[in-house]
Amino acid sequence: MLFNGNMQLLGLIGDPVAQARTPGMANKILQERGKLGPYVFAPMHVSPNNLAGFVAGIRTMKNFCGAVVTMPHKSNMALLVDELTPEAQMVEAVNVIRREKDGKLVGTVLDGEGFVGGLQSVGHTVAGKACVLVGAGGAASAIAFSLVKHGCGSLYLLNRTQTKANDLAQRLREAFPGIAVSTVLPNDQAFDIAINATSLGMKPEDKLPMEEALIDRTSLVAECVIAPEITALLEVAKRKGCQVHTGVPMLSAQMGLMLDFMGVP
């Protein structure tokens, strides 16, 4: 691949980014499309207190096409772009942005469809299933809306900050009247799918994102953390005899969609 002045820049905005698989996967897809060279995808390590300044800078960068947005910037990025798709407005977060030729930034969210698509790619379905979702941030919100959109039977939201779980539950009820959503976990129910949509599991010292008692009552335990691929949560779930689902299919299912949104032919 030759670097030259005509190259168009794509990126991953996050903190940290060293562990991310997105750049490697994106550049592989660019190569498969015959676009690696005219386009290149790079990691962009941006701390939260510098995000607004970074966004102001990329508005002026004429060869910047767009970026994937990852933790912890998904909710704040939704406040900094100029336009949100209907999905991003509903979720109040973005995980990919596109720069228009005039510098306008447009954001959307594909985490939810990526998660459901990743499950479907290995033979799982959410229709009619009793689901538990841990987290209420940008990725969790997107996944919650997609679970309901694809017909989950019931959805239980757990979050360290109860007010955020309550807010997400209210937004779901407004968007999908009649949906069975709760922020209180019943003590005597079995669950089909339990999902970690927090960042817990990225570091070896992280505590488990859900209680082992919940894992004991769950058939399938799913992750959104991508690195490490097998987190401590999935290790525990496997040891208890649960089916497990890593975070990699979620990213794979949405990577092509992200490049499309950023304008890569």
Mark whether 149 and 50 lie in a shared domain: no
The pLDDT of residue 3 is 77
Mark whether 38 and 119 lie in a shared domain: no
The pLDDT of residue 57 is 96
Mark whether 123 and 241 lie in a shared domain: yes
Flag residues of the chain having pLDDT under 50. none
Active site residue 74: yes
Mark whether 105 and 166 lie in a shared domain: no
Residue 181 domain boundaries: 112-250
Q: Is residue 123 part of a domain?
A: yes
The pLDDT of residue 189 is 94
Residue type, position 195, single letter:
I
CATH number, position 27:
3.40.50.10860
SS3 203: coil
Mark whether 106 and 229 lie in a shared domain: no
The pLDDT of residue 231 is 97
Q: What is the pTM of this model?
A: 0.85
Q: Is residue 255 part of a domain?
A: yes
Q: Which of 74, 104, 164, 203 is catalytic?
A: 74
Share in percent of the chain as helix, strand, coil (round to 5): 40, 20, 40
- Whether omega before 228 lies within 30 degrees of 0, making that bond cis, reads yes
The pLDDT of residue 19 is 87
Mark whether 106 and 16 lie in a shared domain: yes
| CB neighbour list of residue 251: distance below 8 Å, 6 or more residues apart | 21, 22, 25, 114, 118, 226
Q: Is residue 166 part of a domain?
A: yes
Residues 165-216 have pLDDT tens digits of: 999 999 999 999 989 999 999 988 999 999 999 999 999 999 999 999 999 9
Mark whether 77 and 32 lie in a shared domain: yes
Mark whether 240 and 117 lie in a shared domain: yes
